[in-house]
Amino acid sequence: MASCCRPSPQKAFTADWLSVEVFPSRAEMGTAAALDVAERMKAVLAAKGRVVMVFAAAPSQNEFLAALCEQPGLDWSKVEAFHLDEYVGLPSDAPQGFGNFLRRHIFDIVRPGIVHFMNGTTKDPDAECRRYAELLAATTIDIACIGIGENGHLAFNDPPVADFNDPLKVKVVELDQTCRMQQVHDGCFATIDEVPKQALTMTVPAIVSAASIHCMVPAATKAQAVRDTIKGPIATSCPASILRLYANAKLYLDPDSASLL
């Protein structure tokens, strides 16, 4: 798909430094984001010969990931991929596992040269955080493809545990009730009792260290979080609000997620 086919946003504006675009549909939002990410990938590959990327795993990313897989001219063998977070304690083959989600939706399709998976089945989550943090410390993130949670979280940095000055790159967190209910709303689990209570997550400073940040947020269930991100204070009460400090970040919305703006 050529860049000339990029859907036009209904509305485009900035919130402090953050670029925001609202598209006529969820599908057009995903396509526009995929075209932007593909263009950025090509630029980084041309300049550096390799590109380091981080991906979110959630139904909100489905349209974006599907469109990205269809982009021509990308040498995925030169991509090094990470993911943002992972549940602690699910079986290794659980379909809700974020590594498994990304395998199904992108990694098994495009075959990146290197994929670093978080191990949520580990008996020592703190050691796994240190291992993953060391991998991140050994490189720099070129592109982060992320979303925002119903409580405004980035990755699993929920308001109670988010720290804009976190000294860690990866940590173990307790998931708050809103975050766990989102997994039920998304259809990933039948009841909240099935949703794990702990997860591994990249921290806020690790995420915003990326040279380019693309944040895809569709659906009415995210409307309040989007409003808080754009119009509320820049504070850990809505962790995604920190994106307003970054001119290298872009927020992609559909009419439902932008309905309260």
Report pLDDT for 83: 96
Q: pLDDT-based confidence at 178, cuts 50/70/90?
A: confident
pLDDT (tens digit per residue) in 99-156: 999 999 999 999 999 999 999 999 999 999 999 999 999 999 999 999 999 999 999 9
Residue, of 3 and 49, whose pLDDT is higher? 49
User: Does residue 62 carry a pLDDT above 90?
Assistant: yes
Please compute the mean of the pLDDT values over residues 208-233 and round it to a whole number. Answer: 98
Nearest to 53 by CA among 128, 115, 108, 117: 115
User: Does residue 2 carry a pLDDT above 80?
Assistant: no
- Our CA dihedral for 145, 105, 31, 39, rounded to 10 degrees, sits at 50
Report pLDDT for 1: 38
Please compute the mean of the pLDDT values over residues 178-192 and round it to a whole number. Answer: 90
pLDDT (tens digit per residue) in 189-198: 999 999 989 9
State which CATH number among 3.30.70.1020, 3.10.450.230, 3.90.1150.10, 3.40.50.1360 fits the domain covering 15-253.
3.40.50.1360
Average pLDDT taken over every residue of the chain: 96
User: Does residue 3 carry a pLDDT above 70?
Assistant: no
Nearest to 120 by CA among 205, 196, 48, 209: 196
52 contact partners, CB below 8 Å, separation of at least 6: 79, 80, 81, 82, 139, 140, 141, 142, 143
What is the rounded CA–CA span in Å between residue 235 and residue 164? 8
Q: Do 170 and 203 meet the contact criterion of CB atoms below 8 Å apart?
A: yes
What is the rounded CA–CA span in Å between residue 199 and residue 196? 7
User: Does residue 4 carry a pLDDT above 80?
Assistant: no
φ/ψ of residue 36, rounded to 5: -65, -45
